[in-house]
Structure 1
Amino acid sequence: MFTKYRYRNRPSYDAKRHFILGAQLLSKSRSTKDRTSSLKLAKSASEEADKSISLDPRDAASHILKALALDAQGFSTSAVEALDVALSTLTAKSLSSSERGDALFKRAEIKMKVKGNKRGKVDSVVADLVESVKLKGDNAGAYRLLGECYEKKEMREEAVEAYERAVRIDHECGAARDALNRLGSMQ
Structure 2
Amino acid sequence: MATDIIIQSAILLLTLAIVFAIRYVPKTPTKHRTDHRATTQTQRHLTRATQLLSRAKSNPQRDQSQTLAKTAIAEIEKALSISPKDPTPHVLKSLALDLLDHKGSALRSLDLALASTRVKSLPEKERLEALVRRAELKLAVNKKRRVDSAVTDLEEAVKVSDEMEEDGIKTRAFCLLGVCYELKGMRDESRKAFEEALKVEPDSTMARQGLERVSLS
Normalised by the length of structure 2, the TM-score is 0.79
Offset of 1:96 from its aligned partner? 2.8
Instruction: Tell me the SS of whatever aligns to 1:57.
Output: coil
Deviation string 1:64-121 (CA, Å, 9 cap, x unpaired) is 001110111111001111000100111111123332121110111111111x4x4321
Distance in 2 (CA, whole Å) between partners of 1:109 and 1:67 is 12
* Corresponding residue of 1:146: 177
Percent identity between the two aligned chains: 40
**What SS does the aligned partner of 2:181 have?**
helix
Contact 1:102–1:136, Cα closer than 8 Å, also in 2:
no
Stretches of structure 2 that go unaligned for 5 or more consecutive residues are 1-25
CA shift for structure 1 position 21: 0.4
Larger radius of gyration: 2
In structure 1, the partner of 2:153 is 128
Q: Distance in 2 between matches of 1:105 and 1:63?
A: 15
> Which aligned pairs between 1:33-182 and structure 2 lie closer than 5 A?
33-114=60-141, 116=142, 118-137=143-162, 138=167, 139-182=170-213
Between stretches 118-127 and 105-114, larger displacement belongs to 118-127
Q: Please tell me the residue identity of whatever aligns with 1:150.
A: Y
Q: In 2, distance between residues paired with 1:182 and 1:3? A: 63
| C-alpha distance in 2 between matches for 1:7 and 1:58 | 16
Identify the residue that residue 26 of structure 1 maps to in structure 2.
Answer: 53
Query: Does the aligned pair in 2 maintain the 1:76–1:110 contact within 8 Å?
Result: yes
Residues 3 and 181 (structure 1), Cα distance of their counterparts in 2 relative to 1, 3 Å cut: closer
Using CA pairs under 8 Å that are at least 6 residues apart, name the structure with larger relative contact order, 1 or 2. Answer: 1
1:12 alignment counterpart? 39
Task: After TM superposition, give the deviation of residue 164 of structure 1 in Å.
Answer: 0.7
Distance 2:125 2:44 in 1: 24
Quick one: distance in 2 between partners of 1:129 and 1:81?
17
Number of residue pairs aligned between Structure 1 and Structure 2: 183
Superposition RMSD in Å: 1.8
Q: Which has the higher helix share?
A: 2
TM-score (norm 1): 0.91
Q: Does the aligned pair in 2 maintain the 1:97–1:136 contact within 8 Å?
A: no
Aligned equivalents of 2:178 and 2:160: distance in 1? Answer: 17
Q: Which amino acid aligns with 2:158?
A: V
CA distance in 2, matches of 1:169, 1:96: 23
